[in-house]
Amino acid sequence: MKVLYLINYAGSAGTEKYVENLVRAYHPARCRCGLCYNQEGPLVDRVKALGAPTYQIVMKSPFDLTAARQLAKLCRDEGYDVIHAQYPRENYIALLARSFGSGARVVFTAHLTLEQPLSWRLLNRVMTPRDHSIVALCPEGAEALARNGVSRARTVTIFNGVDASAMPPRDRAPLAEFGVGQDELVLTILARLAPEKGLLFLCDAVARLRERTDLPFRVLLAGEGEQRGELEEKIRALSLEDRVILTGFRSDTARLLAASDLYLNSSGSNEAMSFAILEAMACGLPLVATDVGGNRTLAELEGQSGLIVPYGDTEGFSGALLRLMTDGGLRRAMGDTARRKAEGVFSLERSLDRTFEIYA
């Protein structure tokens, strides 16, 4: 069997990690894999390093007929049996490629939980029954798909997974780089610096937390993005320079997680099933997160491993942080539950096996 992963931008975010995990696990022992993309990014080199071929096709819109014809020809020439599309644009192009004789079945994974406009909902009712299978990453994602007109009959929920055994042991040593004291509680978030990640709201919550406790703490915010300047201004305006550390892009995020006490997620939308939260759970970190996408499932399914707060509730978010910071027993218990869930219900092996069953 040959599987072609179709993605618009081959960057370095959660969707790209999802694709890389699949290629790394399957190629070439379980099936032959390939990557087809529109915009080049780090994922291309990572897939090449795994020995899988890559192809570039310009995909201007969901109904780019030229792209669909080229994709159909690629599948015929290279013998691909399955196209695994990562977003609605790629899914529609893959379905159109079937009309041009690709011969490949189409699997579509929905990585977002956005509410789509009426036009998309109507199109989904026509197009998605032609998918072989549609993967939702959490129950909340499955419900969002149904509201968006996607075929329920074709939808299956498969959680994202993490390899807990690959995470480093607890070690505070990386904190020395940031001047963090051994007695300080470390609250970490891995996020692209973008409006949908709710980082300005997070700053408001941290400022409120500082008013409510004398406990020493630091917030490590690891990531880069277009909102960095605005975020720096917010930190200055709230006098949080001594509390919030912008680490920039880090290639050692697992080490930062292993040095932390709590994990935060302040997103306002778009979360399906965050890889960053899964990695934090694998490191035994309890969670404080907003009630969007699959965050509640991660925190509450098969045992409570975190606290969930409505987005925008500054008082509630700071209160949840304070509760875990002041109750070491609760923090440890939730952290232990998080690790157990990462090893079980959210394990990478389980996710990989269920996805391969769809291909087969």
The domains of the chain are located at 2-159+348-359, 164-343
Band of residue 152 on the pLDDT scale cut at 50, 70, 90: confident
Q: What is the dihedral of CA 73, 74, 77, 78, to 10 degrees?
A: -160
Q: What is the mean pLDDT of the chain?
A: 95
Parallel, antiparallel, or unpaired: how do β-strands 287-290 and 262-265 relate? parallel
User: Is it the case that residue 166 has pLDDT exceeding 80?
Assistant: yes
Q: Which H, E and C letters describe the chain, residue by residue?
A: CEEEEEEEECCCCHHHHHHHHHHHHHCCCCCEEEEEEEECCHHHHHHHHCCCCEEECCCCCCCCHHHHHHHHHHHHHHCCCEEEECCHHHHHHHHHHHHCCCCCEEEEEECCCCCCCHHHHHHHHHHHHHCCEEEECCHHHHHHHHHCCCCHHHEEECCCCECHHHCCCCCCHHHHHHCCCCCCEEEEEECCCCHHHCHHHHHHHHHHHHHHCCCCEEEEEECCCCCHHHHHHHHHHCCCCCCEEEEECCCCHHHHHHCCCEEEECCCCCCCCCHHHHHHHHCCCCEEEECCCCHHHHHHCCCCCEEEECCCCHHHHHHHHHHHHHCHHHHHHHHHHHHHHHHCCCEHHHHHHHHHHHHC
Taken in order 191, 219, 200, 311, the sign of the CA dihedral is: positive
Q: pLDDT of 302-330, one tens digit each?
A: 999 999 999 999 999 999 999 999 999 99
Q: What is the pLDDT of residue 255?
A: 95
Cα–Cα distances in Å, from 127 out to 84, 95, 162?
15, 8, 32
User: Is it the case that residue 82 has pLDDT exceeding 80?
Assistant: yes
Assigned token pair, 350: 């389980």
Q: What is the pLDDT of residue 115?
A: 84
- What percentage of residues in the chain have a pLDDT greater than 70? 100
Radius of gyration for the chain, computed over Cα atoms and rounded to the nearest angstrom = 21
Q: What is the pLDDT of residue 271?
A: 74
CATH topology of domain 164-343: Rossmann fold (3.40.50)
Amino acid letter, 270: N
Please answer whether residues 274 and 298 qualify as being in contact, where contact means their C-beta atoms are separated by less than 8 angstroms.
yes
Residues 188 and 245: their CA atoms lie apart, in Å, by 10
Q: pLDDT of 260-281, one tens digit each?
A: 999 999 999 877 888 999 999 9
> Fold match between 2-159+348-359 and 164-343?
yes
* Chain length of the chain: 360
Residues 221 and 213: their CA atoms lie apart, in Å, by 20
Average pLDDT over residues 86-114: 94
User: Is it the case that residue 90 has pLDDT exceeding 80?
Assistant: yes
End-to-end CA distance of the chain: 8
Please answer whether residues 347 and 279 qualify as being in contact, where contact means their C-beta atoms are separated by less than 8 angstroms.
no
| Check whether domain 2-159+348-359 has CATH 3.30.70.1150, yes or no | no
Average pLDDT over residues 89-115: 94
Q: pLDDT of 244-257, one tens digit each?
A: 999 999 889 999 99
Output the pTM of the full model. Answer: 0.89
Specify burial of residue 242 (Cβ count, 10 A radius: 0-12, 13-18, 19+). Answer: exposed
Q: What is the pLDDT of residue 116?
A: 86
